[in-house]
Structure 1
Amino acid sequence: MQPPILDLRQAIVQRVQSNDKTQLQEVIQDSVGNDERTLPGLGVLFEMIWKQIDAAEQSKLVEALYTHLQHLQPAAKA
């Protein structure tokens, strides 16, 4: 019999669920710009935020992302 499969979202939520606000901020700060292995965790946390905010807040986030992307140098083509 195979052990139960714990999906990635559940594993990430369980890892940070008992953290206080300071610890959550540290998790985010330590993950941003760090090893790419942390990106799925940030994605799960972002998804949780996205689902809890209204359309106006979502629009603000999209606008911030869009503005940031417009200031980046185009990626070199392989």
Structure 2
Amino acid sequence: MNLNLRKAILSNVSGNSQEEIQETINDAIQQGEEKMLPGLGVLFEVLWQNSDQQDKQEILSTLEKSLQ
């Protein structure tokens, strides 16, 4: 992913409330457009980088269960 794209995505959501972030995620999923995937990826990256080991384990467990 281009670093400029990552910065642009972070700039677009920086300072957003929880409700705004949730709307962004829901809109990206509901639209189902491929062009939305990088934004979701950046949000996941931020989540992962700011999660402790227990949170990461919970994320991995949820993903594993969801992908079966």
Partners of 1:18 and 1:56 in 2: CA distance: 26
Q: Does 1:13 align with 2:10?
A: yes
Matched residues, number: 66
State the identity as a percent.
40
Q: Which residue of 2 aligns with 1:30?
A: 27
Partners of 2:60 and 2:10 in 1: CA distance: 24
Which of 51, 57, 61 pairs up with 1:53?
A: 51
Output the amino acid matched with 1:62.
L
Question: After the TM superposition, which of the residue ranges 19-28 and 49-58 deviates more from structure 2?
Answer: 19-28
Give structure 2 stretches of 5+ with no counterpart: none
Moved over 3 A (4+): none
Q: Which residue of 2 aligns with 1:73?
A: none
Question: After the TM superposition, which of the residue ranges 51-60 and 18-27 deviates more from structure 2?
Answer: 18-27
Bigger Rg, structure 1 or 2: 1
For the residue of structure 2 that corresponds to 1:53, the secondary structure is coil
For the residue of structure 2 that corresponds to 1:32, the secondary structure is helix
- Write 1 or 2 for the structure with the bigger share of helix: 2
Calculate the aligned-residue CA RMSD, in Å.
Answer: 1.7
Q: 1:20, CA displacement in angstroms?
A: 2.1
**TM-score by structure 2 length?**
0.85
Q: 1:16, CA displacement in angstroms?
A: 1.1
